[in-house]
Structure 1
Amino acid sequence: MGRTSPGRCGVTVADTSSAASEILGVPVDAVTTGQALDIVDRAIRERSGLHIGVVNAAKLVNMRRDSELRADVLSSDLILADGMAVVWASRVLRRSLPERVTGIDLMLGILGRGDARGYRVYCLGASDEVSRTVEQRIAEEFPGVRIVGRQHGYFTEEDEPGVAAAIKDSRPDVLLVAMTSPRKERFLARWSRELEVPVTHGVGGSFDVFAGKVARAPKGWQRAGLEWLYRVLQEPRRLWRRYLVTNTLFCLMVAGELLRPRTARASRN
């Protein structure tokens, strides 16, 4: 990428043809899924340490009001647009991103390349049942990947040193972290230095989808940027208010960004 990103791991991400696009004050890396996978491959090959963060509309809204979450996300070496709303905002703001790079698509891409290259993977997060199912499915679909450990996500802050030590001792090439925000970002911010893992990737609810516990939206819904609505229809009581609030705030933030230059020009005149 055009951006040199020191991150919490101290890695420098090599240049690609695209620079980062600043979206609502956050530098989102303008890369395709294929380019992101090439960066992952290079980090594993060079053992350099790459911390991948992803943002969607809800996270950008929450980062605006949660300074700790903002700092944790900005410590990432690679920040990707997980939500279609972020890509649309980049186009509206004329800071266009090439495409959406979802956490689950990148995870599946890493597993696909790992199948051919023998990557060692540690799975952290979700319930123990889901974690076990994920391990079984990886073994079936990506037999060349070696699962060197797994840990459910229901551990306390007091348990974190032991969890981190177990991850480090397993010497994975890739750590997949399936925990919710901001806990996922906080854990990686605290422990990424000690883990010494070439690639850490926060995948959120991807384990639940991969394990078949939660259905992913059909491709048409994804292309239309309506994956969030599909999720709301699955769990309306739990999710409708959250998405209504965050999507509204996100639209207002983008509108404010659009109007700011005009306001500045008007005030100077």
Structure 2
Amino acid sequence: MKRIELFGCPMDVATMHETIKIIGDRIEARQFTQHVVVNVAKLVSLQTDLVLDASVRACDIINIDGMGVVWGARLLGHSVPERVAGVDLFERLLQMAAARSLPVFLLGATDAVVSRTASVIAVRHPDLRIAGYHHGYFWEDEEEVVEQIRQSGARLLFVAITSPKKEVFINRWRDRLGVDFVMGVGGTFDVVSGNVRRAPEWMQRNGLEWAYRVGQEPRRMWKRYFITNNRFAVMLLRARIASAFQGTAGQPNEKT
């Protein structure tokens, strides 16, 4: 995959199909892979959060999730074919795992949400081997949960814990998890379990998922998206002005 850098964050430019192929090949080769997706909120946050920045950089595959980042990258001259949404990638990886008999482990969210998620995907993918699942509130028994994952025999681990906690957890225990692939999936379990509705496809295509999310939980989400979206817009504006200035400065002076 081609790798670009946007506002200091490395990102891999790939289609969904290419991403699935690379992940599948690495799993078959028993090559440990840490995966992360980057959206506007995360890209803005890692500008000041050094722990999150280091955690993202430690990942082997960094996909672009969110049309805002896709459009921003294109605006600054990068060729990005499409977004690779985390929730869609999760579903595609479950399909692959079921077809190849690769056990999976689900970690994160509340006990009710993760157990419901396990039930839903078991129905969707009857051939899928669910090695185990555990809620995301285990910080007093962290090492015990790591051992549970290792003993489960899972090959793929999906972690639905907020950033940067999940990235820090994965980095800390990656050598003891016993899995070949680990992916932070954010709020995916909430969507799969039906606890949160996903935006209609037309809103997804037009970068309006954040607005739909705010509409569902306005008190909790409006400030987060208002701040990050505005900061990202300012970042893009400054980058465009700097690019235009450099382009003008680099042109030879005309003589009359």
- Secondary structure of residue in 2 paired with 1:246: helix
Residues 9-45 of structure 1 show CA distances to partners (whole Å, capped at 9, x for unaligned) of: xxxxxxxxxx112111112101011111111211221
Any conservation in 1 of the 2:199–2:213 contact (CA below 8 Å)?
yes
Percentage of matched positions with identical amino acids: 44
Distance across 2 between alignment mates of 1:124 and 1:89: 32
Number of residue pairs matched? 251
Aligned to 1:249: 231
Of structures 1 and 2, the larger Rg is shown by: 2
Aligned CA RMSD, in angstroms, stands at: 1.5
**What TM-score results when the alignment is normalised by the length of structure 2?**
0.94
**Quick check: 1:88 aligned with 2:71?**
yes
**Residue identity opposite 1:187 in structure 2:** F
CA contact (8 A) 1:168 1:196 kept: yes
Which residue of structure 2 lines up, in the alignment, with residue 4 of structure 1? Answer: none
| Residue equivalent to 2:219 | 237
State yes or no: 1:151 paired with 2:134. Answer: yes
Q: Secondary structure at the match of 1:90?
A: helix
> 1:196 Cα deviation (Å)?
3.0
Do structure 1's residue 169 and structure 2's residue 190 form an aligned pair?
no
- Aligned ranges for residues 1-269 of structure 1 at < 5 Å? 1=1, 19-156=2-139, 158-264=140-246
Unaligned stretches of 5+ residues in structure 1: 2-18
One-letter amino acid of the counterpart of residue 203, structure 1: V
Cα deviation, residue 263, structure 1: 4.1
Do the aligned partners of 2:149 and 2:178 also contact (CA within 8 Å) in 1?
A: no
Q: Give the Cα–Cα distance (whole angstroms) in 2 for the partners of residues 213 and 124 of structure 1.
A: 16
What secondary structure is seen at the aligned counterpart in 1 of 2:5?
strand
Deviations 1:170-214 (A, max 9, x none): 121100001111111111111112213111011000001000000
**Contact 1:21 1:90 survives alignment (8 Å):** no
Give the whole-Å Cα distance in 1 for the aligned partners of 2:6 and 2:42. Answer: 12
Distance in 2 (CA, whole Å) between partners of 1:143 and 1:44 is 21
TM-score normalised according to structure 1 size:
0.90
Aligned AA (1:199): F
Matches of 1:74 and 1:196, distance apart in 2? 21
- Stretches of structure 2 that go unaligned for 5 or more consecutive residues are none
Residues 120-179 of structure 1: CA deviation (Å, up to 9, x unaligned): 0000001111111111112111111111111100112x3211111111111211000011
